[in-house]
């Protein structure tokens, strides 16, 4: 999006504000479907948790996408956005049997990731089709915060437990219609992904009535210069070949499913903040913006680097800054970063703010969560209002503490 447009949005909707470009989301969606165009039935289920605004969900519906959900609330959001239950897969981790039964009641595809719940659910609802989440124990990437395929991960049913898994299915006579893996958000290497896929194919042969194989996600997008991006086109070519060969061997055309979040929305979003204070200390220059990790926690939580552009002074000379927030806690967005000279009042634009930014925002310091704007058909649409003081207090119950 043009800086001029973004400045206008910051002016009209005030800061801080998240802005999403619907065209970029569409482009990423097309890239993925094109890369797998030689698969007979491809199903993309957008991972709601990355960015769960209902207008964004509607946009995905218009693109032909389904949804991947991790809570009953996300399921309800999807239904409210107009998705039919069969377009939604529910892939929770560590939730109660009751919640899974609730989701099954709503008619969405259930995905179970532990043997205890599988046995209980299968005993009570042997006819409900269930997908199972396998942990192939593949460490994809080096960041243990987000790589979930390793041996001590809390996600999925270990491939070493397949014998027990098969016994439960035999005992309950339950119907397994899909198998799934999601090895984390840090897949750098297509070969690692293909390696994990082989484990999934081997596992699939144990089940006679599969309809789909879900390869999860973990596709990488560049955040900073020099970052690697998953080569979707290459993955598409290689996995398609392998998948089609597998279907032949299996004796049936299966659906190939993915559930990307970051790949589809990360680059489509920016976060606009205003510089409140430029503060010179003995060793650095701080630019303090009207936000903090209450609005964008990824740098503090994962050490993520979001590019920051001073869109108020794009032609200025570069200086080194530490960009920090205004909450009473260390909330560093960027350390010693080269940015065009900053003046108080400038608008700083954080890149890659589409995924896991707004959806992780909180009210810490009793601050309001920001507004969200969708840039669609060359127009800015408010898709979430900035919170107000009412939002801070409306669930609080003031009690009478009595008098002494
Ligand atoms: C979070 C999540 C995804 C999406 O991961 P990205 O890295 O954003 O693509 C997909 N599947 C499951 C089960 C998830 O929990």
Whether pLDDT at 146 is above 50: no
- The CATH number of whichever domain residue 302 belongs to comes to 2.40.37.10
Q: Domain range holding 110?
A: 22-265
State the pLDDT at residue 188: 63
The rounded radius of gyration (Å) of the Cα atoms in the chain is 23
Residue 12 inside a domain? The answer is no
Q: Are 80 and 30 contained in the same domain?
A: yes
Q: Are 183 and 328 contained in the same domain?
A: no
Q: Tell me: is residue 358 an annotated ligand-binding position.
A: no
Residue 333 inside a domain? The answer is yes
Whether pLDDT at 375 is above 60: yes
Report d(CA 77, CA 189) in Å as an integer. Answer: 33
Q: Tell me: is residue 387 an annotated ligand-binding position.
A: no
Q: Are 261 and 290 contained in the same domain?
A: no
Q: How many CB atoms lie within 10 A of CB 96?
A: 11
To test the pocket of ligand 1, the residue of 75, 187, 216 to mutate (highest count of ligand atoms within 8 Å of its CB) is 216
Residue 9 inside a domain? The answer is no
Residue 89 inside a domain? The answer is yes
Whether pLDDT at 135 is above 60: yes
Of 265, 283, 315, the domain-final residue: 265
Whether pLDDT at 232 is above 80: yes
Q: Tell me: is residue 31 an annotated ligand-binding position.
A: no
Of the candidates 3, 20, 1, the residue with the CA atom closest to the CA atom of residue 382: 20
C-alpha 184 to ligand 1 mean position (Å): 7
For the stretch 294-320, pLDDT in tens is 999 999 999 999 999 999 999 999 999
Q: Tell me: is residue 236 an annotated ligand-binding position.
A: no
For the stretch 14-40, pLDDT in tens is 999 999 999 999 999 999 999 999 999
pLDDT band at 149 (very low <50, low <70, confident <90, very high): low
pLDDT band at 145 (very low <50, low <70, confident <90, very high): very low
Q: How many CB atoms lie within 10 A of CB 182?
A: 26
Q: Are 260 and 273 contained in the same domain?
A: no
Q: Are 369 and 221 contained in the same domain?
A: no
For the stretch 158-215, pLDDT in tens is 999 999 999 999 999 999 999 999 976 555 678 888 988 999 999 999 999 999 999 9
Q: Are 225 and 111 contained in the same domain?
A: yes
Tokens 């209980």 correspond to: 120
Active site residue 328: yes
Q: Are 175 and 105 contained in the same domain?
A: yes
- The CATH number of whichever domain residue 156 belongs to comes to 3.20.20.10
C-alpha 185 to ligand 1 mean position (Å): 7
**Choice among 247, 328, 349, 357 that is catalytic:** 328
Q: Are 300 and 230 contained in the same domain?
A: no
Q: Are 306 and 338 contained in the same domain?
A: yes
Whether pLDDT at 144 is above 50: no
Q: Which residues of 327-356 are buried (b: 16+ CB within 10 A; e: fewer)?
A: eeeebebbeebebbbbeeebbbbbbbbbbb
Atom of ligand 1 nearest to the CA of 49: 1
For the chain, the distance separating the N- and C-terminal CA atoms, rounded to the nearest angstrom, is 61
Least confident of 21-35, 47-61, 214-228, 281-295: 214-228
Residue 3 inside a domain? The answer is no
Q: Who lines ligand 1 at CB under 6 A?
A: 47, 49-50, 68, 70, 91, 182, 185, 216-219, 259-263, 355
Of 245, 265, 285, the domain-final residue: 265
For the stretch 57-91, pLDDT in tens is 999 999 999 999 999 999 999 999 999 999 999 99
Q: How far is CA 118 from the centre of its chain?
A: 25
Residue 395 inside a domain? The answer is no
Report d(CA 21, CA 310) in Å as an integer. Answer: 19
C-alpha 217 to ligand 1 mean position (Å): 6
Q: How many CA atoms lie within 13 A of 253 on its CB side?
A: 5
State the pLDDT at residue 141: 54
For the stretch 342-364, pLDDT in tens is 999 999 999 999 999 999 999 99
Q: Are 143 and 241 contained in the same domain?
A: yes
CA-closest residue to ligand 1 atom 15: 70
State the pLDDT at residue 218: 84
Long-range contacts, stretch 166-170, CB < 8 angstroms, 24+ apart? 166/206, 168/115, 168/118, 168/119, 168/122, 169/122, 169/207
Q: Are 110 and 215 contained in the same domain?
A: yes
Residue 401 inside a domain? The answer is no
The count of domains in the chain is 2
Atom of ligand 1 nearest to the CA of 260: 9
Residue 393 inside a domain? The answer is no
Q: Are 246 and 280 contained in the same domain?
A: no
DSSP letters spanning 113-145:
--HHHHHHHHHH-TTS-EEEEEE-----SS-TT
Q: How many CB atoms lie within 10 A of CB 221?
A: 20
C-alpha 283 to ligand 1 mean position (Å): 40
Of 265, 281, 316, the domain-final residue: 265
């Amino acid at each position: 999006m043009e800086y001029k447009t973004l400045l206008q949005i910051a002016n009209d909707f005030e800061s801080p504000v998240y802005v999403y470009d619907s065209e970029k989301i569409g482009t990423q969606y097309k890239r993925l479907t094109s890369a797998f165009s030689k698969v007979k039935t491809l199903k993309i289920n957008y991972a709601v948790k990355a960015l769960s605004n209902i207008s964004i969900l509607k946009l995905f519906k218009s693109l032909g996408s389904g949804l991947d959900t991790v809570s009953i609330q996300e399921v309800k959001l999807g239904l409210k956005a107009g998705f039919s239950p069969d377009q939604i897969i529910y892939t929770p981790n560590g939730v109660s049997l009751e919640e899974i039964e609730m989701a099954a009641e709503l008619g969405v595809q259930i995905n179970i990731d532990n043997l205890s719940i599988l046995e209980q659910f299968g005993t009570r609802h042997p006819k409900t089709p269930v997908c199972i989440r396998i942990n192939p124990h593949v460490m994809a990437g080096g960041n243990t915060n987000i790589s979930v395929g390793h041996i001590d991960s809390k996600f999925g049913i270990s491939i070493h437990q397949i014998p027990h898994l098969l016994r439960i299915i035999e005992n309950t006579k339950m119907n397994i219609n899909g198998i799934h893996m999601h090895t984390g958000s840090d897949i750098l290497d297509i070969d690692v992904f293909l390696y994990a896929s082989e484990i999934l194919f081997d596992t699939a042969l144990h089940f006679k009535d599969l309809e789909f194989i879900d390869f999860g996600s973990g596709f990488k997008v560049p955040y900073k210069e020099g970052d690697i991006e998953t080569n979707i086109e290459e993955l598409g070519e290689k996995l398609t070949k392998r998948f089609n060969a597998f279907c032949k061997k299996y004796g049936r055309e299966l659906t190939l499913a993915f559930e990307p979040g970051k790949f589809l929305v990360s680059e489509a979003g920016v976060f606009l903040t205003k510089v409140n204070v430029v503060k010179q200390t003995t060793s650095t220059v701080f630019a303090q913006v009207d936000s903090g990790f209450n609005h964008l926690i990824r740098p503090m939580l994962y050490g993520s680097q979001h590019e920051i552009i001073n869109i108020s002074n794009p032609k200025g000379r570069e200086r080194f800054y530490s960009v920090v927030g205004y909450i009473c806690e260390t909330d560093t967005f960027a350390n010693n970063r080269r940015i065009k000279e900053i003046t108080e009042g400038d608008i700083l634009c954080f890149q890659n703010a589409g995924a896991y930014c707004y959806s992780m925002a909180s009210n810490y310091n009793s601050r309001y969560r920001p507004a969200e704007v969708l840039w669609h058909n060359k127009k800015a649409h408010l898709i979430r209002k900035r919170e107000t003081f009412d939002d801070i207090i409306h669930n609080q119950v003031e009690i009478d503490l009595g008098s002494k």
